[in-house]
Structure 1
Amino acid sequence: MTYTPVHANPLAGNPLETRGDVEKALLDLFNPLLPAFSEGGARVSLSATAAHFDQAAADLEGFARPLWGLPPYAAGGGDFPHWPLYAKGLANGTDPEHPEYWGKVTDRDQRMVELAALGFALRLIPQHLWDPLDERARRNVATYLLEARPHQFADNNWKFFRVMIDLGLERIGIDFDRTLTEQYLQELEAFYLEDGWYRDGNVPRVDHYIPFAMHFYGLIYAALAATDEGRKHRFREWARLFAPNIRHWFADDGGALVFGRSMTYRFACAGFWAALAFADEEALPWGEVKGYYLRHLRWWAQYPITDRSGVLTVGFGYANLLMSENYNSAGSPYWAFKAFLPLALPPTHPFWTAEEAPAPVISETSSQPQPGMVMMHTPGNVIALSSGQENLQMRFGSEKYAKFVYSSRYAFSVESDERNFEGAALDGMLAFSEDGRHFRVRETNEEARIAGTVLYARWRPWSDVEVETWLLPANPWHVRVHRIRTPRPLSTAEGGFAIPRADAYRKLERIEERNGAALVVGAGDFSGIADLGSSIERRGVALKAPPNTNLLHPKTFVPQLRGEIPSGETVLMTAAVALTDRFDAAAIWKDIPPAPAIDELDALMSRDSRRVGAIAWRMAP
């Protein structure tokens, strides 16, 4: 007999093929929240875990975030019986004399994030949230929204929150200062790069916030704003440019590239496809848009993403506070309800009537100069070689933005102990240690360039240690070249992809460790890393990574190469691969790509490269 743990996931068993299936998913995910609503309806408190902001804001988050999905459902004709609870909660939460008052909004306040959902809901379904209120409650709601507007919003996608608030105020007939809205819209447009890409504020950060925030809100604005035709046209045009690029972030099985912050928002990654439908913007044929959308929802049905009561947990593939952000409260994951935006459309809309197109077979490599990525597809996976991004403010910012490679199937790992060099996961990273205990990895780049499908970066783990890194696709492999200049000897470790490790008392993996290579063949995947002729010898290690470090798999193996470099100049050349068991691991392991010539890489960058868009805007030409 085999013991299988039971996991609750309201999406499990739902075929997620039709509009009715998506409606059922929305309600099945929302209903477990009902017992957590406070008596006055304004607070939804889900656990004792804390974010950096106060509990009132966290409870507002639990209240408001489902409103990205419930109002579209109602606008599309869906019967939601709990609008009286929401109307009561809205009245009480904005009443300074009520014990469930949400508190005053200040600069860069988490409440601003949630008020965007309230503004959107008031714009879409005022008959359920505004019309039932008495005059005093209406004054309180209007005053709360109006008093929030002049405060300083964070200098990134948050600027759209004022825009969303204003859509609601306009719909319920409340006057406001439109110059504030215009100011933020201009600043949001200034974040635009090219080819449909924005940056998320004045930082080298181009992540999932571009599709599920910048484009998401821009398309809502394009669909709902009463005027401003020129800007609405630009938002639509940029979304049309973006769609052929962002499709490369989705694997053929529906998984999205695991990269960057806020991955606990999970199927919010379907938000871009959802917003295209909502705005009636056929950036790709409707059958293709529908395919990307539904495959992504179905992908999530296989993972234990809720607790036993059906409440979404903080985490990604499973409950995991280690990978969370400081701003993740227990209600944070419900930004995932952005995926339900198409429920506002009637069943007759071509998004719903189109036949879902199958996943395309993409054999070509996609060069993406704005995020600084080169995308490769293999069955059940999409891989991104990455250079040019950073997030120095974010917890685990190096792991979330500065690895050499990211994947939809193998996700990425965060480190659980920065004082354990020998046990560090280091998947997709090169680490250096002076003392064998502490270690440093790439955090930021002094320079990042792209030439065709080759990426280059110059970075420093210490101020006196310079590393130049080239990344080259060789599908299904990828190649890394590092030229290191250091005034002192250092220990190094370089990791391949993390693959699931069997949770069993019997050894189920086949492991190969030798000088210059390490290979792990697991139950469903294999991962290998090989030295291509570095100027030092490195030993192969199949590391059992610390538990709960990988975002998707709680236990993993990471093949690594470890060695010692002397003072002076050292060149490391590495190839890494990970594939499903649909491939012949032995044959692929014998077909390791050749080492490139470093002088040819130098010449390529001098002759044909351009700066990565994520950092080019802040650097002199």
Structure 2
Amino acid sequence: MDLPPDDRTLSPYTGYTRAHWEAAADALLAAVEPYATEEHALYDLPGDHTSWSGRLSDGLEGHARTLLLAAFRRDGTALERYAEGLAAGVSGVWPRIVDRGQPLVEAASIALALRLTRDLLWDRLDDAVRQRAAAWLADALTAEPWPCNWELFPVTVGGFLEDIGYETEASRKAIDRGLERIEQWYLGDGWYTDGDGRKFDYYNGWAMHLYPVLHAWLADDNRLLDLYGGRLSRHLADYSRLFGADGAPMHQGRSLTYRFATTAPLWLGALSGHTPLSPGETRRLASGALRYFLDRGAVDEHGLLTLGWHGPNEALLQGYSGPASPYWASKGFLGLLLPPDHEVWTATEEPGPAERADAVTPLGPPNWLLQSTRSDGLVRLHNHGSEDVRYDPFYTRLAYSTVTEPSASYDNSVIVGEDASRTGIVPLGVGEGWAASRHTVGDGVQVTSVVLAHGAAEMRAYLVTGAAPGTPVRVTGWAAGEGVRSELLPVLGLTDSLTGVMGDDGATLFAALVRLTGEPDPVPLEETVTVRSGGPGELRVRWSAGPEVRVRLDASGVEVVPVA
């Protein structure tokens, strides 16, 4: 990708300016153009097509998601091509919008793009085309979405149709219905779950916050903007901590192939005026993420975004991932809606949270503990409250980071017998420097877990109950990552191979010291913390440069108390 030279005066951390974002957007749009069908209704990108939707729907996905990029870029020439494709698409090429079908997702991108570029695209269409397009979109008003972030797709379509005066009553009902449904998933402090259960991931930012805030902003509805913008601002205080100093977002959750869509809520805060971040910090985090992926092979030799993280990586994909799916990364270009003279583009970059200081930050609603270290810029997420409806390594491991990927050999797990599953996660609280939870392994085995973090070091303890005497128990730590060092030392109940056995009383405590660090010559892990037994189910933890803490695990939960 041909980008301008770095500007290390305005952007001392990333070198990227608005010109880099514009050039990246132009390059991505140019790269997909050869794959458009003759009338531009479909973008048939190379790769395997999904069983979820099929080739026709994948082609619509290619149109819709790259149209969104053209809309953020406000590229009149490109929008003319998409106008031609829209006319052909709604004349019988595109599949209809039906209950829980992929076209409902893509209709939201199309409607949002049309709403953002009404003067450049919609208003210049023939009236007959506008009528057919509105009729095609209107099916989204009554189509039943999956009970998750999909509830916001009818909201987004309804917002556009209400603006143009098409089926205004049905549009208003769709808007109100969708916004009402997501309320049941708002848990406070800026955090939603993505539907029932405890599914916490980037959908908070690029869906659950994005669509309501944009709708309120475009509708000029100050009441809604205050509500959803306030939630966004609170969320960004936590969200901004999920980026490493190298620009990497946290490697956790599903749909990670959307890559720099992770920057959308950062820009959204600046666009809506609801953000705790300074303009320089906003651009530093966003540009850092864009550069992180572009420097690491996210775009192939044809200029196309691949299905993966750096380059292609099937481990990250879901059943709905098709060749055009990565182009939801277009959401990351939301910042181009801000004019060139906006302070988010003119301010000098400022460091992000991971670059300012060591921090261990508890996040209440997801029951997460974030641990970042300034010396190496790493961010670690200790997961004691998030899981998908099925066992998923990107949801259910005990920890994630900005520099490691969940391994097929079960990193950050407790393996009882030969079973490493972690289901039915029950949060047991987070606090200053700790997080705890309980989960099920297999049939009837319970593991109560607690992690204490200080600097880059961790003390992890597990009380295993319900397993037969003599059952082997093994704990694992961080997977290997490029340029980082993973350490795991036994403390209690474990041999040097990090394996122990269940005792005769049906409840056995295991503990280990853990560290993931990018420092080339760190202080030996055993010198950073001292752990000793304080009785049945109790540990005393003393950090070399911090407090002493008493930790107790039993059938009722976990207690963590500072020792005076």
- Normalising by the residue count of structure 1, what TM-score does the alignment of the two structures yield? 0.80
Distance in 2, matches of 1:190 and 1:65, equals 28
**In structure 1, what is the equivalent of residue 309 of structure 2?**
316
Check whether the contact 1:374–1:384 (CA below 8 A) recurs between aligned residues.
Answer: yes
Which one of the candidate residues 135, 142, 147 is aligned to 2:127?
Answer: 135
**In structure 1, what is the equivalent of residue 20 of structure 2?**
21
Alignment of 1:481-500 (within 5 A): 481-485=461-465, 486-487=467-468, 489-500=470-481
Q: CA RMSD in A?
A: 2.3
**In structure 1, what is the equivalent of residue 86 of structure 2?**
90
Partner letter of residue 117 of structure 1?
A: S
- Cα offsets for 1:420-473 (capped at 9, x unmatched): xxxxx2111122335xxxx33212324533243322222221223221111111
Relative distance call for 1:426 and 1:12 in structure 2 (3 A) is farther
Check whether the contact 1:380–1:409 (CA below 8 A) recurs between aligned residues.
Answer: no
Pairing 1:218–2:212 present: yes
Partner letter of residue 104 of structure 1?
A: R
Check whether the contact 1:13–1:301 (CA below 8 A) recurs between aligned residues.
Answer: no
Alignment of 1:507-586 (within 5 A): 524-534=483-493, 536-539=494-497, 561-565=498-502, 568-580=506-518, 582-585=519-522
**In structure 1, what is the equivalent of residue 255 of structure 2?**
262
Q: Secondary structure at the match of 2:529?
A: coil
Partner letter of residue 292 of structure 1?
A: L
Check whether the contact 2:400–2:406 (CA below 8 A) recurs between aligned residues.
Answer: yes
Q: Secondary structure at the match of 1:602?
A: strand
Alignment of 1:257-296 (within 5 A): 257-296=250-289
Relative distance call for 1:482 and 1:180 in structure 2 (3 A) is same
**In structure 1, what is the equivalent of residue 10 of structure 2?**
none
Ranges in structure 1 where 5+ consecutive residues have no aligned partner: 1-8, 416-424, 502-523, 540-560, 610-621
Shift of 1:608: 6.6
Check whether the contact 2:360–2:454 (CA below 8 A) recurs between aligned residues.
Answer: no
Partner letter of residue 147 of structure 1?
A: D
Q: Secondary structure at the match of 1:445?
A: strand
**In structure 2, what is the equivalent of residue 478 of structure 1?**
458
Q: Secondary structure at the match of 1:116?
A: helix
Distance in 2, matches of 1:499 and 1:11, equals 32
Q: Secondary structure at the match of 2:291?
A: helix
Distance in 2, matches of 1:493 and 1:113, equals 43
Which one of the candidate residues 129, 142, 159 is aligned to 2:151?
Answer: 159
**In structure 2, what is the equivalent of residue 203 of structure 1?**
197
Shift of 1:488: 5.2
**In structure 1, what is the equivalent of residue 229 of structure 2?**
236
Comparing 256-265 and 314-323, the one that deviates more: 314-323
Relative distance call for 1:134 and 1:220 in structure 2 (3 A) is same
Comparing 189-198 and 38-47, the one that deviates more: 189-198
Which one of the candidate residues 581, 584, 595 is aligned to 2:531?
Answer: 595
Q: Secondary structure at the match of 1:318?
A: coil
Which one of the candidate residues 401, 405, 421 is aligned to 1:407?
Answer: 401
- Cα offsets for 1:161-210 (capped at 9, x unmatched): 11211222233332331122112112223321111111111221111111
**In structure 2, what is the equivalent of residue 41 of structure 1?**
40
Ranges in structure 2 where 5+ consecutive residues have no aligned partner: 8-14, 539-549
Q: Secondary structure at the match of 2:359?
A: coil
Distance in 1, matches of 2:144 and 2:203, equals 20
Relative distance call for 1:201 and 1:40 in structure 2 (3 A) is same
- Cα offsets for 1:372-411 (capped at 9, x unmatched): 1111112221011111111124xxx431111111100123
Distance in 2, matches of 1:387 and 1:171, equals 43
Partner letter of residue 321 of structure 1?
A: E
Distance in 1, matches of 2:456 and 2:182, equals 38
Q: Secondary structure at the match of 2:111?
A: helix
Q: Secondary structure at the match of 1:94?
A: helix
Pairing 1:433–2:413 present: no
Q: Secondary structure at the match of 1:346?
A: coil
Alignment of 1:58-457 (within 5 A): 58-74=58-74, 79-96=75-92, 101-176=93-168, 177=170, 178-227=172-221, 229-359=222-352, 360-378=355-373, 379-393=376-390, 397-413=391-407, 415=408, 425-434=409-418, 439-457=419-437
- Cα offsets for 1:543-592 (capped at 9, x unmatched): xxxxxxxxxxxxxxxxxx34554663322111211212x4314x334525
Relative distance call for 1:603 and 1:405 in structure 2 (3 A) is closer
Distance in 1, matches of 2:197 and 2:526, equals 42
- Cα offsets for 1:304-354 (capped at 9, x unmatched): 112221111111122012320111111111111111111112111121122
Relative distance call for 1:372 and 1:13 in structure 2 (3 A) is farther
Q: How many residues align?
A: 529
Distance in 2, matches of 1:529 and 1:239, equals 37
Distance in 2, matches of 1:444 and 1:322, equals 23
Shift of 1:29: 1.9
Distance in 2, matches of 1:56 and 1:296, equals 32
Partner letter of residue 367 of structure 1?
A: P
**In structure 2, what is the equivalent of residue 5 of structure 1?**
none
Identity fraction in percent? 26
Distance in 2, matches of 1:12 and 1:527, equals 37
Check whether the contact 1:239–1:283 (CA below 8 A) recurs between aligned residues.
Answer: no
Q: Secondary structure at the match of 1:374?
A: strand
The answer to which structure, 1 or 2, has the higher relative contact order (CA under 8 A, 6+ apart) is 1
**In structure 1, what is the equivalent of residue 54 of structure 2?**
54
Distance in 2, matches of 1:583 and 1:358, equals 22
